[in-house]
A = this chain, B = another copy of it.
């Protein structure tokens, strides 16, 4: 280490570097004077990129509902969660959130959202409108009443969580919504009756009105031209979408770099930030390709295997590296930390017993290793300057028992002055 100089841009993966790494010159000032030839410690505190996971599992812990061993285990898992991720998605499935009409389960989710916020995480609610897991009591209401209830639900919940949640998946899976035929539900009827775009407008208007500062997403699993056509129609209709959500449950196998980049390119052309909202890579056998709706694959046991865990770890590294290599992607949320979640799939970073798989260590080695600036002692030059290359995010500089925080928000050459 040369004085006044930490890592250089060349220390980072070239595919990722251009869009995620800044080459920073910091001028350290104390009492208005450059702090020349001084020992300082530079440390990264957060990533600008959102490395997300679902926070469903943390609800009992955040609400103080656990004791003894259960609490201990939950705390260990939470520690693993917080060591790796900085963005949580919380469940607002309407049928569970308001099982009984008029009795929303607001408090436990408010407590959980605050728990994650207090721990420095960005928090998103998922979803405000969806045909699946819609309330049973909605099913037989006339379409007009479904619409009224849907809007009222959004206004109520977006308002209740304003200032706590940072983002919402406002509506989920609109592409299939009007032709979804797995189970009768009010949303499918409503969407078929009024059309996809009027429904998107209705739910976005309600969410925007109730929480103008939240980031509002359109989210879908359909990565085909259908989603493109939907997005183009929605944008052409003048509906303001803040970000596009792309699901990427890969129970049927890793997409690979080519397909992933092709998908990103197609959706990046709308100029909106892309969130990979729901990513899964399994560490067991791959779901057979002939399954169309993943929910149709119900097996008694889907074990995590040593070979599967190796493969998953490699794929996690490739997938995250690919996502970070494209400037349009601003967020990647993984779908579950611990095995045994959705579909019983071994899709987690931790086994069912809570021990980390190789994928956990591999992603940690990127997010808090290769892509991270750990506390680094540096020496300012005669003009009080030091240079470092680092991932975009929040940093802290310590000198003489004082610390100062600063953000690095744009890739490339940048200069900041930090008063300490």
Contacts and interface: CB of A to CB of B under 8 A. Distances in A.
A174 to B, nearest CB: 8
A383 interface: no
Nearest to A224: B226
Interface in A140-199: 175-176, 178-179, 192, 195-198
A179 B237 contact: no
A222 interface: yes
Interface stretch (A57-65, A67-75, A228-236, A281-289): A228-236
Contacts of A228: 178-179, 196, 226
Interface residues of A, number: 25
A266 interface: yes
A119 interface: no
A233 B230 CA distance: 7
A59 to B, nearest CB: 34
How many copies of the shown chain assemble into the complex? Answer: 2
A402 interface: no
B175 A225 contact: yes
Contacts of A237: 233, 236-237
A259 interface: no
Contacts of A226: 175, 224-226, 228-229
A197 B232 contact: yes
A195 B229 contact: no
Interface in A214-247: 222, 224-230, 232-237
A235 B237 CA distance: 10
Nearest to A225: B226
B269 A196 contact: no
14 contacts: A175-B229, A176-B225, A179-B266, A195-B232, A196-B232, A197-B236, A224-B226, A226-B228, A229-B233, A230-B232, A230-B233, A232-B233, A233-B233, A233-B237
Given A196-B229, A229-B233, 14 more contacts: A175-B229, A178-B228, A179-B228, A195-B232, A195-B236, A197-B232, A222-B225, A224-B226, A226-B226, A227-B229, A233-B233, A233-B236, A236-B236, A237-B237
